[in-house]
Chain A
Amino acid sequence: MNFKHLTKRFAAIIGVLVLAASTQLTFADDTVHLKDGRTITGDIQRELEGSVWIKTKIGGIESTEFILGDNIESIDRDAPAEAPKADIKPSKTDGNAKPRRAGVPRAAVISLEGTVGIQMTAKTLMDLIPELERELGNDGSGIVVFKVNSGGGLLLEIQKISDVIQNEYKKRFRTVAWIESAISAAAMSSHCIEEIYMLPEGSYGACTGWSGALVAVKGRGLEQVLYQMEKISARGGYDYRIMRSMEINEPLSCTIDPRTGEVTWYQTEEGEYLVNPADKILTFTAPEALKYKFSKGTAATIDELTKAMGYQEIDWVGEERDGFIYPVSKAEDMMLAYRKKVTDDEDRTNEYFANYQQARAMAAAAPMQTRARFVGRAKQHLRKIESMVRNNPNFALLTWGMTIEDWDRDWLQVEKKYLADLMRP
């Protein structure tokens, strides 16, 4: 290879790098995120009823593209082109630009939504702690509000979530639950929190374990869950009978001492108030939860929540955003990003597998001279599967019936080796 050829090749490489850099650097003003997942970066020239005309520049060539408002998910103005990554990563700088005010506690709302064990996991809650400490401080004055809106999920995740809240959150923050809807495993996961507030439309309960075609958990399995929830009830300071009536057909009544307000619970119908008849499963509404002193209060807004918690003022960390009734903190952004990725992965699990299997099969069948193409493709799909499982290790259990350690050793490494071996002559 002569010098002239080398310089030509070098210049081409430089050109590509510059081109790549120029597309990144020259027009990084506005970013339009489309509903189909694409992003377009450029300079918005005009806007009309949510539609935009955006000027882009690629390789020095300018063009203006029209994007109908119906197709736009969101617009970042003067924002970097890259969409926020789905992997949870803590921010490097102080999470809140607002100066701290003496005597005013800081609080963040973290949404717990989706399926327990998939979108709502102990691992995610652990991962958020460093960011929450950055945003709220680590002197114990910070407040974390778990806003719960979930229809339940995996029984096996309940103890893990309860342990993280009990052993990690409570010792760092005042930890509070704000219930929009906590059903089944979601209620059971929240049950260790002493302070539960409800939104006016809130509901809490219906914790019967089941699987398949509405088949109840029975026998020893049921007894184990009942016992588990007795212990978790104690963590939250709740009479165990309440959760029991949420799990099985047990009556529940109570008497409220008119002088002290103290509530005495009965697993019979003898109390003054019949809370749950014997043939029903208990779900509290907000007024019921308040009346029977299960909840500490009902709050429709964070201002009402502030007062219900006994504060005149709280610094709610985060930014106001459409569709949210609370400011969205960086920790909450991490939760939102996690949920987006895991939901996408959950929806596309079969697709990931099918694509991987196709590429793997074609790699195995291909002659050596073309095999690398298919091995490369198979590796891409394998990386997606790996990313899915590392993001939520419960996928290893649900899909392979393995712990993540076993999955890594007995499946992932085996597949990686298989693909590597395919490239050996």
Chain B
Amino acid sequence: MKKTRFGRIARGLIGLQLALVPLCVGVITPPAASAYTTRQGEELDQIIFRDGRIIKGVIAEETKKSVSMFVVVGSIKGASATVYDKEDILSVIHGSGSDTPETAATVKKTDQTANPPRDTAATPGRKVIYHIKLDGWFGRDINVTPLQQAVDAAKKFNPDYLLIEVDNRWERFGQDLGDDRANFDEFSIADKLEPILRQDLQSHWKNPPEVVVWVKNAMAGAAFIPFFTPNVYFASNGRMGGIGNLGGMFGSMGDEVVRDKQESLRLGRAKGMAIVNGYDPRIMQAMTMKDYVLYYTMDGGKPVYSNEPVPGAELLTDDGKDENADTMEAQVRSEGNDVLTLRAELAQKLGISKGTADTVEDVLFYLGVLDNYELIEDPPERIMNRWSKAIDRLERDIPRMYREYDEIQVGGTYNERKRARGAKINLLKKIISQMERYQESLQFTRIGVPPAAQLRTMIEQLRLEQLADRP
């Protein structure tokens, strides 16, 4: 096409239309005026998507959940803003780019997110708090990969505090499971979370932040999280427990000496987790073993524990046997004492909680942060939500993909058969890739798809069939 001014504008308009259609992943606002040119020298904003696409333009609005932008193609700026979901966005760069390709060094200097890094020289004394909310189901929404990603994302903000809010789901069909239900063996997941919030920070961060845990609901595996740090606060209705089934976990299976061994090794590891952050391991034992008797007295504001009823001692947990066994009424009312469940008042008395806080500001108050602080919440929330949504999606998508795999019929001509087998193999590979990436949180009983090893064998079967089919 001859390069005339008209031709350029026409191409630009066509390009703008083509650009706008595939790039619209959110709500499209109704077009108003026709396109107009950008001002000369105007620096463009950029949105970089998680699939690598980059669009340039002028950001109209940015919220917690979305970014709307007037897309610029060539020298034409769209008249209407397109809204993009932040879940799909890797990064937003504000006016840092030009129309020429950037080098990596340039990008590293100017890349910004919605929360630019703290500049301590400009605001001395300002504290940065990076707030990670661990809600949802422990082992599904709360797991190693999302927490690691959230903590890794914190590094660039150089936070003074990592505030870990623990509020895991502990209910079935909307009904609270109570203090007496327990799942100690989620310890295996907590054991993998612990280095992320302790050892790794101390070993690999130049300025490791202080980890603060804020307990709203920390039941079963989540009950181990407060033990990762000495800085714990409780919400006034906060609760920490649900790990009291270690004693008796194996019922009457096998030989008693082996059951004793299994209890001993688990308790040893759990106590180790408490010890390293200065907690008395007897607290862990009282929370996990039904037959463990623990009393306490107060001496100089600090608890002194004993296994015998010394004068003035208060009973924390009894041996849970015979007449001491918690009644159903006590269990339902959270008044049992076979195992220890910590609530705000008792946790503070025993020195496990440093205070009762019902809002983030309350927690900050305890930390001595009254004003002049920056609270960063968006990136970790996006990361944790993205993981949860991915699990939700995969629990639907993986069975659907498997059904699609089943429905593909291999027949017709040689090329049709080859294509069909290829399609089946690709579906299986996709399923395997997703399963392996998210396996720590996927519940395979819900997915109802064979394990990855079997899927790989099915791929091999298809390849062999193709070999046999080859002319």
Write the residues of chain A forming the contact surface with B, with a CB cutoff of 8 angstroms: 35-36, 44-51, 53, 65-71, 151, 181, 183-184, 199-208, 210, 212-216, 248-249, 279-287, 300-301, 322-325, 347-348, 350-351, 354-355, 358-359, 362, 366, 370, 373-374, 377
Contact = CB atoms under 8 A, between A and B. Distances in A.
Given A46-B104, A374-B467, A201 B258 contact: no
5 contacts: A35-B436, A279-B260, A351-B454, A354-B457, A358-B460
Contacts of B108: 47
Contacts of B104: 44-47
B204 interface: yes
A252 B142 CA distance: 41
A301 B204 CA distance: 12
Given A68-B51, A68-B52, A355-B457, 19 more contacts: A44-B104, A47-B108, A48-B48, A201-B272, A207-B261, A214-B250, A216-B254, A216-B255, A281-B263, A283-B265, A283-B268, A322-B200, A323-B204, A325-B199, A348-B453, A351-B456, A354-B454, A355-B456, A370-B470
A324 B195 CA distance: 10
Given A200-B275, A358-B464, A281 B102 contact: no
Contacts of B267: 283
Contacts of A201: 269, 272-273, 275-276
B346 interface: no
Interface string B105-120: 0011001010000000
- Secondary structure at the A interface, as helix, strand, loop or mixed, is mixed
Contact of A151 (B195, B256, B265): B265
A214 B255 contact: yes
Given A48-B48, A51-B90, A286-B275, A214 B258 contact: yes
Interface in B227-247: none
Contacts, number: 174
Nearest to A363: B464
Contacts of A285: 268, 271-272, 275, 281
Contacts of B51: 66, 68
A359 B52 CA distance: 40
Contacts of A47: 104, 107-108
Given A49-B90, A283-B265, A215 B255 contact: yes
A47 B437 CA distance: 22
- Residue from B250, B255, B257, B281 having most chain A Cβ neighbours under 10 A: B257
For the complex of A and B, 9 pairs with smallest distance between CB atoms: A66-B52, A214-B254, A283-B268, A203-B268, A206-B265, A201-B272, A208-B261, A216-B255, A351-B453
Interface of B: 48, 50-52, 90-91, 102-104, 107-108, 111, 113, 149, 152-153, 195, 199-200, 203-204, 250, 253-265, 267-269, 271-273, 275-276, 281, 433, 436-437, 453-454, 456-457, 460-461, 463-464, 467-468, 470
- Secondary structure at the B interface, as helix, strand, loop or mixed, is helix
Contacts of A46: 102-104, 107
B238 to A, nearest CB: 25
A373 B463 CA distance: 11
B271 A203 contact: yes
A359 B281 CA distance: 56
B264 A280 contact: yes
A277 to B, nearest CB: 10
A53 B103 CA distance: 11
B390 to A, nearest CB: 10
Nearest to A218: B255
Given A203-B271, A286-B275, A377-B467, A48 B107 contact: yes
B470 A373 contact: yes
Contacts of A210: 254-255, 258, 261
B433 A36 contact: yes
B281 A214 contact: no
Contacts of A347: 453
Contacts of A350: 453
Given A46-B104, A374-B467, A51 B52 contact: yes
Contacts of B91: 48-49
A280 B261 CA distance: 8
A36 to B, nearest CB: 5
A68 B48 CA distance: 11
Nearest to A49: B91
A69 B436 CA distance: 16
Contacts of B468: 362, 366, 370, 373-374
Contacts of B433: 36
Nearest to B203: A325
A114 to B, nearest CB: 14
- Residue from A69, A201, A370, A377 having most chain B Cβ neighbours under 10 A: A201
Contact of A281 (B107, B111, B257, B467): B257
